[in-house]
Amino acid sequence: MHSSRLLSSVFASLLVVPSFGVTLTQPSQLSTLTYDYVIIGAGNAGLVVANRLTEDPTVSVLVLEAGVSDQGVIPAEAPFLGPTLTPNTPYDWNYTVVPQVGMNGRTFAYPRGKLLGGSSSANYLFHQYGTNEDWNRLGSISGDSGWSWTNMKKYIQKHERFVPPVDGHNTTGQFIPSLHGFNGEVSVSLPGNNQTIDPRVLATTKQLAEFPFNEDMSGGDHPLLGIGFLQSSAGGGVRSSSSTSYLANANKRPNLTVLINATVMKLLQTGTKNGLKSFRSVQFTTTPGVAPTLSAGKTLTVTARKEVVLSAGSVGTAQILQLSGIGNANDLKTLKINTVISNPSVGDNMSDHTLLPNIFRVQGDQSFDGFLRDPNQTAAALNQWVQNKTGMFANNVVNNFGFARIPSNATIFKTTHDPAPGPLSPHWEIIISNFWFNPGIAQPPTGSFMTIIAVLISPTSRGTVKLRSSNCLDKPLIDPKYLTTDFDIFTMREAVKAILRFVGAPAWSDYVIGPFGDSFSAAKEDASIEAYVRGLTTTIFHPIGTASMSPTQARSGVVNPDLKVKGADGLRIVDASVFPFVPSAHTQGPVYLLAERASDIIKAQN
């Protein structure tokens, strides 16, 4: 969608100068350079920790954010416009992956939010928690039962504020209230704008036993398998991010300071304690491209009395650790970086969900493609959203999605152990979209389309995030190594076959014409399907694992179960990088729960 010429023009017209509230925009506004805690990254996790730590008025917190404010940025507020925020915008880090061996050597954009709220301000708003089996596996492999679902599910009540859909329709049968929180921080809601294909999707769940209806897609105590209604991080027709919730609700606290436009260069060792190397100082500079407030080459250093909390995400956290001399000693030596803590696990074990847009030609004009091509209709929809936060732009780009497993008797399991965390957790995801959606490829000037996306949910491929150079402003080398295992390509092939069965249901007989494009049309047997998959798949950008959690005494891994960096004092990591396995879900929800528990751990240990 974000390649649409029309939406790109809409987005360009909405780029406004952000309105800054109490958030600081330049280092000269800092009243002190010493705080109890310094948090690096005002994203999905960092702002949760900032909110929870400053509940104690005697605790001072500084949050450093490389990006800009999200305030006044309409594409970051109107849910339908979310996909226009990335890539190649001021609100994205604008990374790319290195050429992918498993994808015919292709390289492509790797979106990461670069604004207050991080990727929670720039994602597609899908909100869920993963399966209980995800969390129980984490509790088991970390050696800390506190990460198991029995303990983690209580944080839903602190985090979630489930609200009515923007159109106020009766939601009976579309979610299970007992699984949700109604008084937390982040607003979550069901779709509020009917799509013409919704009845066909629901009819398919009755016609094909392979795709049963699921009443609630949040996960946890309720299985994710089946197709149901999307729950989005939005309320009242407006995106709810960590910035508009956790930060907004803490912004008036005098003990919380947030500085944007601040790019962290590295962590500085401040001594030793109990044989561990202490890291309580952070060196940063002004983010390039913003109004200069530090002269060229000048840096500033802030210090934490208690802890530095690294919440820069799976890419940024791995980069900052390595720039600080924490990482693979051989890699650091090559870049002439002094090794302070030798740990080859840093930047390793990267895992991510892949995305394959399967595009079908459809009959008539019921898809959104005509609307997206018509500047008069989009202008009217935008005006409706601005005036009263209703209409198409108040809704997400998707209403229905679901999850499925490869059959237990599949041939792949003769040679590969099932990578899912349990028998009720999925291997792949299906997302049904009522228009052309193909990242990086422009919408055709004519025609009506439906896109059914396949997402690899339990990948076995593992990649890396490495430094390109010792310069913090140089983008890191991101190599997810997508589709480099037999299981991953097998699952994507089977997902394509399943999607073809899905559109073969009677519900689609008078609507779907057939696959769009020569490659998809030719995907009839395993070899041609594999060629199609390797030639078109990209990412749904859910990276994890580059600073993985492991038992306290383990030789591998980057953080202990309490999220303290191994071999270090005063340094903790709280973001998706600590997950050793990617959750069986879109990752913002699991990261919110992780950050809630991390906040409790930090409070208890200080």
Kindly indicate the confidence band of residue 21, based on its pLDDT and cuts at 50, 70 and 90. very low
% of residues, the chain, pLDDT over 70? 95
Q: Give mean pLDDT, residues 203-223.
A: 98
Kindly indicate the confidence band of residue 195, based on its pLDDT and cuts at 50, 70 and 90. confident
Most confident of 24-33, 129-138, 436-445: 129-138
Q: What separation, in Å, do the N-terminal and C-terminal C-alpha atoms of the chain show?
A: 46
Biggest CA-to-CA distance, the chain: 71
Stated as kind and residue range, the H or E segment containing 599 is helix 588-605
Q: Is it the case that residue 45 has pLDDT exceeding 90?
A: yes
Choice among 17-21, 36-40, 440-444 with the minimum mean pLDDT: 17-21
pLDDT of residue 19: 36
The answer to whether the CB of 581 falls within 8 A of the CB of 421 is yes
Convert the pLDDT of each residue in 384-418 to its tens digit.
Answer: 999 999 999 999 999 999 999 999 999 999 999 99
HSE of 365, CA atoms in CB hemisphere, 13 A:
6
Task: Indicate the angle between helix axes 5-13 and 375-388, nearest 10 degrees.
Answer: 40
Distance CA 221, CA 90 (A): 39
Task: Indicate the angle between helix axes 46-53 and 588-605, nearest 10 degrees.
Answer: 40
pLDDT of residue 3: 40
Residue whose entry in the numeric block shows the structure tokens 């009395």:
305
Kindly indicate the confidence band of residue 194, based on its pLDDT and cuts at 50, 70 and 90. confident
Convert the pLDDT of each residue in 260-271 to its tens digit.
Answer: 999 999 999 999
Q: Give mean pLDDT, residues 133-138.
A: 98
The answer to whether the CB of 418 falls within 8 A of the CB of 338 is no
Q: Is it the case that residue 113 has pLDDT exceeding 70?
A: yes
Stated as kind and residue range, the H or E segment containing 464 is strand 464-466
% of residues, the chain, pLDDT over 90? 93
pLDDT of residue 20: 36
Q: Is it the case that residue 231 has pLDDT exceeding 80?
A: yes
DSSP 261: S
pLDDT of residue 62: 98
Distance CA 471, CA 487 (A): 37
Give one DSSP letter per residue of 327-341, joined into a string. Answer: E-HHHHHHTTPPPSE
pLDDT of residue 297: 65
HSE of 320, CA atoms in CB hemisphere, 13 A:
31
Pairing of strands 300-310, 160-162: unpaired
The answer to whether the CB of 456 falls within 8 A of the CB of 487 is no
Distance CA 591, CA 41 (A): 14
pLDDT of residue 364: 94
Q: Is it the case that residue 105 has pLDDT exceeding 50?
A: yes
Phi, psi for 565 (deg, rounded to 5): -70, 130
Residues 6+ apart with CB under 8 A from 599: 48, 49, 52, 53
Q: In the predicted model, what is the mean pLDDT of the chain?
A: 95
Distance CA 273, CA 276 (A): 5
Name the pTM for this structure. Answer: 0.96
Q: Is it the case that residue 1 has pLDDT exceeding 60?
A: no
Q: Among residues 402, 348, 392, which one has the least CA distance to residue 371? A: 392
The answer to whether the CB of 125 falls within 8 A of the CB of 78 is no
pLDDT of residue 4: 47
- Residues forming beta bridges with residue 571, ordered by sequence position: 308
Question: Dihedral sign, CA of 592, 235, 201, 213?
Answer: positive
Kindly indicate the confidence band of residue 23, based on its pLDDT and cuts at 50, 70 and 90. confident
Convert the pLDDT of each residue in 271-296 to its tens digit.
Answer: 999 999 999 999 999 988 776 666 66
Q: Give mean pLDDT, residues 77-92.
A: 95
Residues written for the chain: 606
